[in-house]
Amino acid sequence: MAAPELDSDVLIVGSGASGAAAAWSLSRRGLRVTCLEQGRWVEPSDYAHSRPDYELARQTSFAKDPNVRGWAEDYPINNSGTPIYPLMVNAVGGSTVHWSGHFPRMRPSDFRVRTLDGVADDWPFTYWDLEPYYDLNDSMVGVSGLAGDPGNPPRSPRQTPPLAFDAGCEAYLRGLEKLGWHWWPCDNALISEPFGENRSPCNCCGPCDIGCPIGAMSSAHVTYWPKALSQGVQLITHARVEQITVDRAGRATGALYYDDQGVRRSQTAGVVVMAANGVGTPRLLLNSTSARFPNGLANDSGIVGAYLMFHPVAFVSGVFEEVVNGQRGPIGGLMNCQEFYETDLARGFVRGFELQLSRSVGPLSVANGGILGHPVPWGSEHHEALRSRYAHTMTTSVMLEDLPEPENRVTLDPGLTDAHGIPAPRVEYRVGENTQRMLEFSIARARELFEAAGAVEILVDPLVQESGWHLMGTCRMGDDPERSVINGWGQAHECPNLFVIDGSTFTTSAAVNPTSTIQAVALRCADWLGKNYRAVAA
């Protein structure tokens, strides 16, 4: 008897940065692609961006933390065991809906940490293997920036010029130049000139992280999804995946999910691709138990969920006598300093960090302590103190490379579930010794920078609790099945027609925002899968 026809050739779980890129890549080869997304299309009219109470919305109904936001399509996360809270959005476009668009690439050394520094592991490919997919991704989404940075490998011309510098950039640059530290305009997935179809350039209106209503931000629902849908991809929203199904031989057959009416449905495919982020993907694999995989799908090694990496972040702000208008304009990085990026053992730690010039926040947030936990005093001195900070403050985000440690992991919570009874993830994470030493050193350098720039007051949050934007490492790549979940093409060692392509693939974290690399890796994996689909699905 002939086998039943599959619903699709490839089933992708998750429609964010990686899932969108893979859907576009695979569908252009003629493959039938279906994507399951448990969230919805968030319309520009739904963004908190243009609301008069946008600062309240950022902390409540449009918060980055799903435990605070509490949308119907969210799932809870037990974050009681971590000083850094995971942040994500369940929606078409994933967390790129709720994004600042900072878009640097990793450096060549980031792929060879074991070889160069004797810690962590090397990636199963090099920067140069990934470079064509970085270029392809940039050309698809649109990046503002400036090629020619002598501190990084050459790259293709940026699609649009760098975002405009302002008074805050001038103050920051004053400190960098005085210290002689290397800097360069940031790459941002935020266009500064018209690019693509019906996309307006950035108008510097501000709070990008609660939605870009004009489409200047190169979010996945603006860039990849229109093209993928035009190529025939089926996108099913409000599809809450419960588990990945397997046959008796242990090959993936599809997924079980709940639709928007709460009806349990199945979707079959020749290949399953996980793109549900560094928390969501291990959660679903761990919940996908079977006779062949009693500890979770592709988890004979026990590595699924292990080696969780964030980017520990400190915020250091300088308050200036002059007006720097840190509250205006794009919230992502405008200037980047990688003076301390590579290992120098004289500093007392391996690997390094970068200093990103970021924006300040609005008046309500400044009054309540802003992003730094230093509230303006109430009472008779309140207005004078508020005036001295508001429009006078610039912030540097100190972003550190996080080493992979097996104790930092995502597991299934024994009691907490989502609205459909699916076990919620539990995050267990501690700041490692190397990271702690790096934090102390990096904060001192940020202080030094603002002192050189002429700040009259310096405010510090030494470890930002709500900074778990970057979820990496929980289904890591590698050549050794005992130390990794997938190979260099995203293919699971133990389940050859299961692929993982999101941030959980990262072998190491680097010290830069990961989305550019996530999408480049997804495109590389999808390119290989598209060329080898028949052999993989057979």
pLDDT, tens digit, 9 for 90 and up, residues 435-456: 999 999 999 999 999 999 999 9
pLDDT at 194: 94
pLDDT at 381: 83
pLDDT, tens digit, 9 for 90 and up, residues 217-256: 999 999 999 999 999 999 999 999 999 999 999 999 999 9
Q: Which of 216, 189, 186 is nearest to 202 (CA)?
A: 216
User: What angle do helix axes 433-453 and 167-179 make, rounded to 10 degrees?
Assistant: 110
Mean pLDDT of 117-141: 98
Residues 6+ apart with CB under 8 A from 221: 15, 20, 41, 42, 91, 92, 93, 96, 97
pLDDT at 197: 81
Mean pLDDT of 475-491: 97
Higher pLDDT, 383 or 230: 230
pLDDT, tens digit, 9 for 90 and up, residues 504-534: 999 999 999 999 999 999 999 999 999 999 9
Higher pLDDT, 382 or 305: 305
CB 134 within 8 A of CB 127: no
pLDDT at 58: 86
One-letter amino acid of 199: R
| pLDDT above 70: residue 469 | yes
One-letter amino acid of 46: D
Mean pLDDT of 52-81: 92
CB 449 within 8 A of CB 181: yes
pLDDT at 102: 92
pLDDT at 370: 60
Mean pLDDT of 207-216: 87
CB 274 within 8 A of CB 500: yes
Give percent of the chain above pLDDT 70: 98
CB 167 within 8 A of CB 211: no
Q: How many CB atoms lie within 10 A of CB 410?
A: 29
List beta partners, residue 402. Answer: none
pLDDT, tens digit, 9 for 90 and up, residues 397-434: 999 999 999 999 999 999 999 999 999 999 999 999 99
Chain mean pLDDT for the chain: 94
The DSSP symbol for 503 reads: G
| pLDDT above 50: residue 1 | no
pLDDT, tens digit, 9 for 90 and up, residues 301-358: 999 999 999 999 999 999 999 998 877 878 877 889 999 999 999 999 999 999 998 8
Report CA torsion sign: 86, 92, 93, 97: negative
Beta-strand (E) ranges in 157-312? 184-185, 234-236, 240-246, 252-258, 264-274
| pLDDT above 50: residue 159 | yes
Backbone angles phi, psi at 155, to 5 degrees: -140, 165
pLDDT at 479: 97
Q: How many CB atoms lie within 10 A of CB 293?
A: 20
116 class by beta-carbon count within 10 Å (0-12 exposed, 13-18 middle, 19+ buried): middle
| DSSP H/E element including 535 | helix 515-537
pLDDT at 371: 56
| pLDDT above 70: residue 372 | no
Using alpha carbons only, give the angle 272, 277, 282 rounded to the nearest 5 degrees: 70
Beta-strand (E) ranges in 443-523? 457-461, 498-500
| Predicted TM-score (pTM) of this structure | 0.96
Q: How many CB atoms lie within 10 A of CB 348?
A: 11
pLDDT at 198: 81
